[in-house]
């Protein structure tokens, strides 16, 4: 929910087929409410994608046969007969799990010491609000953030229809989801790994530029050597323009 801006209700609808791997960024494109009138596209961070992969791998190891129509998030099960009869989690289960996590992790004061007064931060919707705030603060085009959250923006949205690639990568006029990945990443390990990957890529680019530069210098040296050799063989060529010499066949 914090990585892709999903509503808790959307988690129940997601099927494995709704995820499309984008290897270039090591993340998933997610088709939300596929084949429904409210269908839209969003993305998750590489960090989130890794945990999804681990979760699905665990389900395969215990014997479940994952199919395109299998729920992405399934309810718990106890017996082997339930392995291949997966049922999607309900919105109530999601809310209950978040409720337990808030208490167990100490993020929220335990019930015994908690006042009944409500706060403005909703228990599960707060993740979605965090997503939108973080995307905009990271420089992502505000309208793009509306698209990846499934919001409808009236006339403006009907005239501007960015492609999925633009929503992800942006263009020369607006930043896309990629610009927010670093700030949406929770674990510092993933953030540092991303930085290492970026530095490694830049290092490779610099090395390629150096190789190209050295090749160009070698070509120039060979041309100069040829010209000197030609002049030595025929001193009259010393008065010929350099560009004529460079094109002269030996």
Q: What is the pLDDT of residues 225-238, one digit of tens each?
A: 887 777 777 776 66
Which of 119, 143, 123, 124 lies closest to 132, judged by CA?
143
Sign of the dihedral defined by the CA atoms of residues 53, 58, 61, 63, in that order: negative
The architecture that CATH gives domain 8-186 is: Orthogonal Bundle (1.10)
What per-residue confidence (pLDDT) applies to 250? Answer: 45
Rounded average pLDDT per 10-residue block, the chain, 250 residues = 92 94 95 86 95 94 90 79 80 87 78 55 80 94 92 65 93 93 84 70 79 83 80 68 53
How high is the pLDDT of residue 210?
Answer: 81
pLDDT at 206: 81
Domain ranges of the chain: 8-186, 205-247
Q: Tell me the pLDDT of the chain averaged across its residues.
A: 82
Rounded (5°) CA angle 74-79-84: 50
pTM: 0.69
pLDDT, position 248: 53
């Amino acid at each position: 929910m914090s990585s892709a801006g999903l509503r808790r209700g959307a988690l129940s609808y997601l099927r494995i087929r709704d995820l499309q791997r984008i290897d270039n960024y090591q993340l998933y494109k997610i088709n939300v409410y596929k084949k429904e009138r409210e269908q839209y596209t969003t993305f998750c961070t590489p960090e989130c994608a890794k945990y999804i992969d681990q979760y699905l791998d665990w389900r395969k190891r215990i014997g479940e046969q994952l199919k395109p129509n299998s729920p992405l998030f399934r309810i718990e099960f106890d017996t082997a007969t339930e392995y291949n009869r997966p049922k999607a989690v309900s919105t109530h289960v999601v809310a209950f799990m978040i409720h337990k996590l808030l208490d167990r992790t100490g993020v929220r004061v335990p019930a015994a010491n908690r006042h009944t007064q409500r706060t403005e931060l909703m228990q599960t919707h707060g993740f979605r609000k965090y997503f939108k705030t973080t995307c905009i603060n990271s420089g992502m085009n505000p309208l793009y953030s509306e698209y990846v959250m499934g919001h409808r923006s009236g006339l403006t949205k009907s005239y501007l229809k960015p492609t999925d690639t633009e929503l992800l990568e942006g263009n020369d006029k607006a930043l896309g989801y990629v610009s927010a990945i670093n700030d949406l990443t929770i674990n510092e390990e993933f953030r540092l790994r991303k930085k290492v990957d970026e530095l490694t890529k830049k290092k490779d680019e610099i090395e390629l530029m150096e190789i190209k530069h050295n090749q160009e210098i070698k070509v120039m040296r060979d041309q100069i050597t040829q010209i000197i050799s030609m002049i030595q063989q025929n001193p009259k060529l010393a008065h010929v323009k350099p560009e004529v010499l460079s094109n002269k066949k030996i």
